[in-house]
Amino acid sequence: MHDYAARLAAEDRHYRDDTNVHSLPDIFHYWSNRYVRPKLEAFGFSTPEEMFRKYLDQQFQRHRNQSKRFVSFGSGNCNMEIELALELRAQGHSDFVIDCVDLNPSMLDRGRASAAHREVAGQLNFVRADFNAWTPEHEYDAVIANQALHHVLKLEELFARIKSSLQPNGSLIVSELIGRNGHQRWPEALSIVHEFWRKLPPSYRFNRKLDRYEEMYLNYDCSSDGFEGIRSQDILPLLLQNFHFDVFVAFANVIDPFVDRAFGYNFDAQAQWDRSFIDAIHQRDEQEFAAGILKPTHMLAVLGKDPSLPTLCHPPLTPEFCVRDTSKVIAEPDGSRDAYDWHSWPHSPQAELDIACKRLDIAYRNLKEAQDQVDQRGEMVERLMTEVEERTHWALRLKKEIDDYTGLDLHLQKLNKDVEERTAWALKLNDQSADLNAQFEERTAWALELDRLLEARTKQMRQLAADLDQLAWARPLDRRFHKFLTAAVNALRRLRNR
């Protein structure tokens, strides 16, 4: 897992500031236009970009009134995807979306800004994802892989996801490197590279990418830190297992180191010797392909799910024929002997030595600048280390002060607890007081009502007393009435008794 994370970081670092990913030397374009283009034109396109456009347009022709969804892996700065969107719109297509998938956020940000500037943002959807963990969210009419698959470690899982998300008539359109892992040469190819390397003047042997002179070509493993060419040799066999090849064009092997970014810029595409040298290497490639000794390292292909369709290719270079048998073991050639063929150079040895010295001087200056930067960064690291030590001492002092205040903190916690308890008691007492106040208010209201009733009764009694005082003249009559009444009652009793 740590190794994988380190590779991811290296991949991000390598492409973060790369604004022109697919730039190539002029000598590459001389070679590809003269030898590769005719192979492609036999199938109706001249460049990888034209192949992508042709087979995307084919999806529109199948179902004219349906919206289309495409996905492009390793879209980087999205330059090609933006051009595809513009060309498809120029052909009258508008109802489509291209998902641009890449790991590097800086490159996707550049693509997003460029798409907005070119007014195709509505057709592009930017997806940051690791190809090894990508999960499709849609079904796709076509999948584009432009120099992306050789960055994928988990090819089996990616191909399974592509296959499951591809529409029944969908296409997987690929431009890819299919040589040895890490873009190394297999031994049978390396020996031929060394053969031509000996004819190469010293001024052509300077590696522009790695800033070093290579007396004999070094079979460098590009996958040593990132994902460059991590499983290149497995791409073609796994594609054969998972898909059907509708179109297959394979080319190049020994020619690669001489026209790529590392050494290709040393060649002058207008110079006769340089062109003849490249012509000779290409012809050697073609001879070795026909004999089955070498296998191509590049392919352009259109794949699908229908095995009944014929495979268009240039015999004998079928997909099956171009698979290199990795079980075939050949000893690595020794390139240390006879590094120079002095008689094959276009200039005198002294002129070549002067050119080589100038390039070495440039390399030395670049190295010196790099060393100065290293020294500056070393000084910065030392300053940072000093600052870290000072901050560490400060942190330790702060920790001691915190420890000293721990007892006070505990005391404060106890006080806080007491305050909380007393506050709870006060709140409870307040609740009780509220109840007592309510009862007091009720009883006060009752007492006031009783006082009001007492006052009313008092008034009634006073009125009654006044009324009685007015009846004082009737009291003697009342007594006489009672006297006569009593005598009458007694007379009646005597009469009953008789």
pLDDT in tens, 106-152: 999 999 999 999 999 999 999 999 988 999 999 999 999 999 999 99
pLDDT tens-digit readout, 433-449:
677 777 778 877 777 88
pLDDT at 44: 97
**DSSP 3-state of 168:** strand
Which residues have a Cβ under 8 Å from the Cβ of 99 and sit 6 or more positions away? 69, 70, 71, 72, 125, 127, 138, 140
pLDDT at 305: 95
Q: What is the mean pLDDT of the segment spanning 274-290?
A: 98
**DSSP 3-state of 135:** coil
**DSSP 3-state of 389:** helix
Sequence spans of domains, the chain: 2-346, 349-400, 407-497
Is 99:65 a contact under the CB 8 Å cutoff?
no
- Where does the pLDDT of residue 345 fall: very low under 50, low under 70, confident under 90, or very high at 90 and above? confident
CA-angle at 432, arms to 428 and 437, nearest 5° = 145
Which of 156-165, 296-305, 328-337, 488-497 is least confident? 488-497
pLDDT of 95 > 90? The answer is yes
Is 65:92 a contact under the CB 8 Å cutoff?
no
Alpha-carbon separation of residue 142 from 116, 174, 300 (angstroms): 23, 11, 15
> Is the omega angle on the peptide bond into residue 316 within 30 degrees of 0, that is, cis?
yes
The residue among 215, 202, 231, 220 whose CA lies nearest residue 257 is: 220
Q: What is the mean pLDDT of the segment spanning 344-352?
A: 73
For residue 295, report the phi and psi dihedrals to the nearest 5 degrees.
-120, 145
pLDDT at 476: 65
What is the number of other CB atoms lying within 10 angstroms of the CB of residue 458? 10
**DSSP 3-state of 63:** coil
- Work out the mean pLDDT of the chain and round it to a whole number: 86
Most confident of 197-206, 341-350, 489-498: 197-206
pLDDT at 468: 64
CA gap 37, 251 in Å, rounded: 11
pLDDT tens-digit readout, 47-66:
999 999 999 999 999 877 78
pLDDT at 47: 96
Amino acid at 342: W
Bridge partners (DSSP) of residue 72 are: 100, 144
Alpha-carbon separation of residue 82 from 94, 110, 121, 334, 352 (angstroms): 13, 12, 9, 47, 44
pLDDT at 364: 67
- Where does the pLDDT of residue 395 fall: very low under 50, low under 70, confident under 90, or very high at 90 and above? confident
**Helices marked H in 118-231 — which ranges?**
155-165, 187-197
- Where does the pLDDT of residue 321 fall: very low under 50, low under 70, confident under 90, or very high at 90 and above? very high
Amino acid at 496: R
Which of 303-317, 347-361, 442-456 is least confident? 347-361
Pairing of strands 244-251, 68-73: unpaired
- Where does the pLDDT of residue 21 fall: very low under 50, low under 70, confident under 90, or very high at 90 and above? low
What is the number of other CB atoms lying within 10 angstroms of the CB of residue 328? 9
pLDDT tens-digit readout, 325-344:
998 888 888 766 677 887 77
Order of strands across the sheet that contains 68-73: 124-128, 96-102, 68-73, 140-146, 166-177, 298-304, 244-251
% residues pLDDT > 90 (the chain): 56
What tokens were used for 26? 């002029």
- Where does the pLDDT of residue 356 fall: very low under 50, low under 70, confident under 90, or very high at 90 and above? low
- Where does the pLDDT of residue 471 fall: very low under 50, low under 70, confident under 90, or very high at 90 and above? low
Query: Which has more pLDDT, 78 or 356?
Result: 78
What is the number of other CB atoms lying within 10 angstroms of the CB of residue 256? 22
The residue among 292, 327, 331, 291 whose CA lies nearest residue 187 is: 331
- Where does the pLDDT of residue 360 fall: very low under 50, low under 70, confident under 90, or very high at 90 and above? low
Is 228:271 a contact under the CB 8 Å cutoff?
no
Q: What is the mean pLDDT of the segment spanning 403-415?
A: 67
CA gap 247, 171 in Å, rounded: 11
- Where does the pLDDT of residue 16 fall: very low under 50, low under 70, confident under 90, or very high at 90 and above? low
pLDDT at 433: 67
Q: What is the mean pLDDT of the segment spanning 411-439?
A: 73
Q: What is the mean pLDDT of the segment spanning 246-258?
A: 98
pLDDT at 100: 96
CA-angle at 483, arms to 479 and 486, nearest 5° = 135
Distance, C-alpha 363 to centroid of its chain: 36
Instruction: Specify the fold of 2-346.
Output: Rossmann fold (3.40.50)
Using a 10 angstrom Cβ sphere, with 0-12 exposed, 13-18 middle and 19 or more buried, the burial of residue 141 is buried
pLDDT of 2 > 60? The answer is no
Pairing of strands 96-102, 124-128: parallel
Q: What is the mean pLDDT of the segment spanning 191-210?
A: 93
Which residues have a Cβ under 8 Å from the Cβ of 428 and sit 6 or more positions away? none
The residue among 256, 263, 259, 247 whose CA lies nearest residue 294 is: 256
Place of tokens 């892989």: 145
**Helices marked H in 118-203 — which ranges?**
155-165, 187-197
Q: pTM for the whole thing?
A: 0.70
Query: Which has more pLDDT, 236 or 411?
Result: 236
> What's the first-to-final CA gap in the chain, in angstroms?
139
Is 97:70 a contact under the CB 8 Å cutoff?
yes
pLDDT at 181: 96
Alpha-carbon separation of residue 297 from 163, 238, 248, 410, 412 (angstroms): 24, 15, 13, 74, 76
Distance, C-alpha 19 to centroid of its chain: 18
Query: Which has more pLDDT, 388 or 320?
Result: 320
